[in-house]
Amino acid sequence: MKLGFIGLGIMGAPMCGHLIKAGHQLFVHSRSQLPAAITEAGATACASNQAVAEAADIIFTMVPDTPDVEAVLFGDAGVAAGLSPGKTVVDMSSISPIETKAFAQKINALGCDYLDAPVSGGEVGAKAASLTIMVGGPEAAFERVRPLFELMGKNITLVGGNGDGQTCKVANQIIVALNIAAVGEALVFASKAGADPAKVRAALMGGFAASRILEVHGERMIKRSFAPGFRIGLHQKDLNLALAGARALGVALPQTAGAAQLMNACAANGEGQLDHSALVRALELMANHKVMPD
C-alpha cells in the first residue's frame, strides 16, 4: 500500500520502520532530520505534509501534542490540502479528545475517514511492535487499517467513535503516572529506612504489588537510568489533558493532580527531557534522600 508517515521521533521512526519491512511504500516527512534508517530502508522523503497526503492513501501522524497535530493537518502545506476523497488519516499521537473530534469533523468534510489511535508501550513497545493501540473512529475504517496496526502493535482495540481512543489513552496515562508515583514512594521509603531497594523490588515482584511499572521503572530508579523512553514533558502534557477533561466533566482526580505536580517539579528543575520514571527525583528531593546514589 501507499502509506504516509509524519513524525519520525523516538516512537514514530520504529513504527514507520515496521510498515516498510512489511513491504509497504512509505512517503515520509518530519520537522527534524529524517532518521537514516528510514531513508536507507527505501522510504520517500517528501517536502511537506501536503506532499505526503497527495502521495499516500493512508496517512499516519505521530507528533507530540495537540497544536502539533493541528499544524500538521491544517497548517500551511498541511495534510488536509493534499487529501482527496476516500483517503484515511490516522493520528497516533496522544492529544486532546475534544480537539480530536473537531479534527475528525474537518477531515470527514473532505470525504476522508479519520481514526484517532494513540498508543501505549513506549520506545520499547514501538521497537518490538508490541504497542497497545486504542482506536476511535468508524468501524469500517478501523477494519481497513487493522492489518497495518497489527504490524506495529499487539493489543488493538476499537474503543468507540472519534475521540474515544484519545479518552482511553488519557485514562492509561493516569494509571501509569499513579503507578510510577507509587513505586517511587515505596522505593524512597525502603531506601530511607535502610533496606536494599534492589532486594525490596525483587521481593515485591513476587507478590500482589508486582506490576510492569515496578519491573521496568523500578529498575530504572535503582540503576539511575533515566534516558528517555517516554519523556516527563510528554507525560506532563497527558496529565494536563486529564485534568482539563476532569474540569470540563466536573470530575475530581485528586491523585492525578498530585502526580502532575510531581512532574511539574521535575520539569521546573530542568528534568522534563528525562524518562517519566525520573518522577522519583521529585520524591527524593522532598525526602532529602535518593533511592540509590547517582
Directed axis angle between helix 197-204 and helix 212-223, to 10°? 170
For residue 61, what are the β-bridge partners?
6, 91
In the chain, CATH 1.10.1040.10 sits at 168-287
Task: Record the pTM.
Answer: 0.92
The grid cell for 123 is 520506545
Best CA proximity match to 21, nearest among 129, 130, 117: 129
3-state SS, 78-138, equals: CHHHHCCCCCEEEECCCCCHHHHHHHHHHHHCCCCEEEECCEECHHHHHHHCCEEEEEECC
All residue ranges of the chain with pLDDT < 70 are none
Task: Reply yes or no on whether 169 is catalytic.
Answer: yes
SS3 68: helix
Structural contact between residues 94 and 37, judged by C-beta atoms closer than 8 angstroms: no
| pLDDT on residue 267 | 97
Decide: 43 and 37 in contact? Cβ < 8 Å.
no
Ranges in the chain annotated CATH 3.40.50.720:
2-161
From the candidates 2, 101, 154, 169, give the one annotated as an active-site residue: 169
Strands 44-45 and 58-61 turn out to be unpaired
The pLDDT, as a whole number, for residue 194 is 98
The 10 Å Cβ neighbour count of residue 169 is: 28
Closest to 52 (Cα-Cα) out of 32, 71, 76, 78? 78
CB 68 within 8 A of CB 100: no
Give pLDDT, residue 33.
86
Contact 95, 41 (CB under 8 A): no
Instruction: Spell 44-58 as b/e; 16+ CB within 10 A means b.
Output: bebebbbbbbbbbeb
User: φ and ψ at 172, to 5 degrees?
Assistant: -60, -45
CATH number for the domain formed by residue range(s) 2-161:
3.40.50.720
CA distance 202 to 190: 13
**What end-to-end distance do the CA atoms of the chain give, in Å?**
48
Fold type of domain 168-287: N-(1-d-carboxylethyl)-l-norvaline Dehydrogenase; domain 2 (1.10.1040)
Euclidean distance between CA atoms 16 and 25, whole angstroms: 11
Task: Report the pLDDT value the prediction gives residue 83, as an integer from 0 to 100.
Answer: 98
